[in-house]
Amino acid sequence: MKRIFFGFLFFSTTMIAYPQLAYPPTRTVDSSDTYWGKTIKDPYRWLENIKSKEVEDWFKAQALLSDSLLNRIPGRDSLVKEWMSLDSLKPANYSEIVFEANRLFYRKTRGGENIGKIYWRADWDGDEKLLFDPATYQKGVVTTVVSFVPSYDGKNVALALSSGGAEVSEIRILNVDDGTLYPESIFPTRGPICWTLDNMSLVYLWQKSADNKSPDFELNLKTKLHEIGADTSGDIDFFSNGSYPELNIAPNEFPIAVMDETYPDYVFGYLYTVQPEMRVYYAPAREMENSRIDWKVLCTQSDSLVRGMEFHGDRVYAITLKQAHNYKLVSTRIDHPDWDHAETVLPEQKDVLQYIAKSNDHLLAVYSNGITGRVLSYHFNSGKTTELSLPMSGTVDVSCPDRFGNRFLVTISSWTSPTKWYDYDADKDFFAESAFNTDIKYPGFENLVSEEVEVRGHDGTMIPLSIIYEKGLHKDGNNSCLLEGYGAYGYSATPYFSIRRSIALKGVVLAYAHVRGGGEKGESWYRAGYKTTKPNTWKDFISCAEYLVKEGYTSPARLAGMGTSAGGILISRAITERPDLFGAAICNVGCANAIRMEFTPNGPPNIAEFGTVKDSLQCLALYEMDGVQHVQPGVKYPSVICVAGWNDPRVVAWEPGKFAAALQQATGSGKPVLMKVNYESGHFTEEKMVTFRNFADQYSFILWQTGHPGFQPLE
């Protein structure tokens, strides 16, 4: 490899000189595809051979270059230390709280701990007991609990264990009373689903391959049944296309069979892709005694049921988008489902219905206007609906750990205030501070403010934009600014708290563009940034960037854009369409090569969201989404850091890799284009140190490139 020369000059005007970096050699090939009469060249196709030594060496060389540059940024390590210090102030974080047979199970991560442990209590208020510490599982390997499922009698817990951010799990079963693991190990899996009602067998999602770079990684999955103590080779194929070919389960559909102790008369089979409209089968539970189950249709995708389904008595309740852009709650009989004539339980509201949560006697419906949440309560027996008087304003999340009771857990959060936990007694309509709540004040965060505005988009549509900054900010265009966006799957980017937002206390403006393709304004908002309408996603982002510049929050040289995962489409197309508008960009595990996406391990399940080259209109849309295809030689592109997780099955490393390669060869600005590789991570990881280091690299890079004085390397 050629010697890499580093030379940085920092002047009082924060102008940076960019010597030409000696990037790792990147060859090109004569490769192309012809779709619907259009030939699309792909000179970096060879990088898709991710297992070849040549490609591995290329990524290692890119990682070495990136690390050697990032290591020279003075503010980076202090960011990691700052976040760890802030994290250590919090006594603990709780998640995945489940109540079974008078035993409470949960994940607890203490402040400063790298990964969480699994605990349990006898009843809600019993003494806390450590159930499983993943750090003790395998010496020399950082193991994490991806998920866990207690049996309905509370005597056993199925643990999904993984490492390095991989999304393939080993299942082990733990005896709660004596803390021992049963001898069997089930691998590869996507984790446990539930238990049979007799608590003797585990229902789990089996997959054929553990190779997250294999095209078959997410195809032809099966729900299997494992009896405790039995040889795993004899596990029953309980629900799949192999066991029920008459259901025509597609290779890219995830077949997930579920039994619910609170609704024991039926078993349900869900078929999932990223398409929001549900496809569900059901059968009387007594048929499990037969060699085959006679599955009946509960709903098809044409019934337009989305976002959640619950069962009570002889009724099934579901959210629908039919004649309701903001969604509504409807109900029909379980024994004769008729969704065309379903009863409206909660009509469409002005804000958007996000999801529903069930207790023994109540159904809570959570709404949001994109920023502030509210909750309606529906009583099953009386049919009465009331709105909850929430103890504070913000993003609301509700769950019911004990579905035989009426005690909910409610969390409320905002951009600048730590999450508050409450117990809600639905019978008494009463809120009380939860035992899980840990009041904490982070130094300086009281000086942060959040501002909600709407920006006129390219076609006149008003785009919500959230802006976070420190009080007293001067709107003189001299502030570094990080603008983030996503815009996919109908996901609503509602406010949440993060200690990483401490960079706003360094004079940095943080902003989130609520672009079309998300769900902030309901179904029509989602569909306006979907497949053939996808350009609205990055055009909305560009409009928000222009607003931040116009209003003096920042200037183009000091503005950085960021897109993660599906947001890679947004950021790769924003900087290729308007390279003059951004000083820097982060493509974080980003989909930057959309026209090749369906040929990745996670591609087939995502065809429903982005499209396929097998359809002429969708193929054209995929080309428009593709950042790699829109890189042009000689254009003065901003500084860019692309990030890949080597164990990532969702966005395989070559997608951001090809984008980095194209930019390195084409850019006429001389600004650096880095390809950072996280070899100890996947699409994400629970490990705090890995996560903090990853984001510190990204943030310090864009702050260096946008002229922030605390992040300028010395030669």
Q: Given a cut of 70, is residue 338 above it in pLDDT?
A: yes
Q: Given a cut of 90, is residue 65 above it in pLDDT?
A: yes
Give dist(CA 370, CA 351) in Å, integer.
8
684 phi, psi to nearest 5 deg: -165, 180
Condensed to tens digits (0 to 9), the pLDDT of residues 525-582 reads: 999 999 999 999 999 999 999 999 999 999 999 999 999 999 999 999 999 999 999 9
Give dist(CA 506, CA 485) in Å, integer.
22
Q: What percent of the chain has pLDDT over 70?
A: 97
Q: Given a cut of 60, is residue 8 above it in pLDDT?
A: no
Confidence of residue 447 (pLDDT cuts 50, 70, 90): very high
Confidence of residue 684 (pLDDT cuts 50, 70, 90): confident
Give dist(CA 374, CA 387) in Å, integer.
8
- How does DSSP assign 328-345, residue by residue? EEEEEESSS--GGGPEEE
Condensed to tens digits (0 to 9), the pLDDT of residues 21-57 reads: 899 999 999 999 999 999 999 999 999 999 999 999 9
Confidence of residue 3 (pLDDT cuts 50, 70, 90): very low
Q: What percent of the chain has pLDDT over 90?
A: 92
Residue 299 is encoded by which pair of tokens? 């709903």
Confidence of residue 17 (pLDDT cuts 50, 70, 90): very low
Confidence of residue 166 (pLDDT cuts 50, 70, 90): confident
With b for 16 or more beta-carbon neighbours within 10 A and e for fewer, the 652-681 pattern comes to bbbbbbbbbbbbbeebeeebbbbbbbbebb
User: DSSP label at 434?
Assistant: -
Confidence of residue 1 (pLDDT cuts 50, 70, 90): very low
Inter-residue contact 170 to 185 (CB < 8 Å): yes
Output the CA–CA distances (angstroms, integers) from residue 597 to 46, 167, 231, in the order listed.
15, 18, 38
548 phi, psi to nearest 5 deg: -60, -35
Give dist(CA 156, CA 170) in Å, integer.
16
Condensed to tens digits (0 to 9), the pLDDT of residues 79-114 reads: 999 999 999 998 899 999 999 999 999 999 999 999
Give dist(CA 392, CA 495) in Å, integer.
14
Confidence of residue 165 (pLDDT cuts 50, 70, 90): confident
Q: How far is CA 293 from the centre of its chain?
A: 34
- How does DSSP assign 334-374, residue by residue? SSS--GGGPEEEE---SSEEEEEEE-SSEEEEEEESSS-EE
pLDDT of residue 289: 86
pLDDT of residue 9: 29
β-pairing, 673-678 with 639-645?
parallel
Average pLDDT over residues 378-387: 97
Q: How far is CA 318 from the centre of its chain?
A: 23
Select from 584, 576, 570 the least CA-distant residue to 700: 584
Inter-residue contact 158 to 148 (CB < 8 Å): yes
Condensed to tens digits (0 to 9), the pLDDT of residues 648-666 reads: 989 999 999 999 999 999 9
β-pairing, 328-333 with 315-320?
antiparallel
Condensed to tens digits (0 to 9), the pLDDT of residues 400-439 reads: 999 999 999 999 999 999 999 999 999 999 999 999 998 8
pLDDT of residue 213: 86
| Residues forming a β-bridge with 39 | 34
Q: Give the 3-state secondary structure of residue 79.
A: helix
Average pLDDT over residues 576-604: 97
Q: Given a cut of 80, is residue 715 above it in pLDDT?
A: no
User: Residue 593 carries which side chain, given as an amino acid letter?
Assistant: N
Average pLDDT over residues 1-17: 33
Select from 525, 524, 583, 577 the least CA-distant residue to 554: 583
Average pLDDT over residues 133-140: 94
Radius of gyration of the chain (CA): 26
pLDDT of residue 291: 86
Using alpha carbons only, what angle is made at residue 517 by residues 639 and 390, rounded to the nearest 5 degrees? 105
Condensed to tens digits (0 to 9), the pLDDT of residues 281-320 reads: 999 999 988 889 999 999 999 999 999 999 999 999 999 9
Confidence of residue 19 (pLDDT cuts 50, 70, 90): low
User: Residue 269 carries which side chain, given as an amino acid letter?
Assistant: G
Across all residues in the chain, what is the average pLDDT?
95
β-pairing, 584-588 with 639-645?
parallel
Condensed to tens digits (0 to 9), the pLDDT of residues 490-521 reads: 999 999 999 999 999 999 999 999 999 999 99
Average pLDDT over residues 660-680: 96
**Terminus-to-terminus CA distance in the chain, angstroms?**
21
Which residues lie below 8 Å from residue 525, measured CB to CB, with a gap of 6+?
Answer: 516, 517, 518, 519
Helix (H) or strand (E) holding 547: helix 535-550
CATH of 32-85+445-710, one of 3.40.50.920, 3.30.2290.10, 3.40.50.1820, 3.40.50.720: 3.40.50.1820
Q: Given a cut of 90, is residue 385 above it in pLDDT?
A: yes
pLDDT of residue 603: 93
Which residues lie below 8 Å from residue 491, measured CB to CB, with a gap of 6+?
Answer: 518, 519
Identify the architecture of domain 97-244+256-262 in CATH: 7 Propeller (2.130)
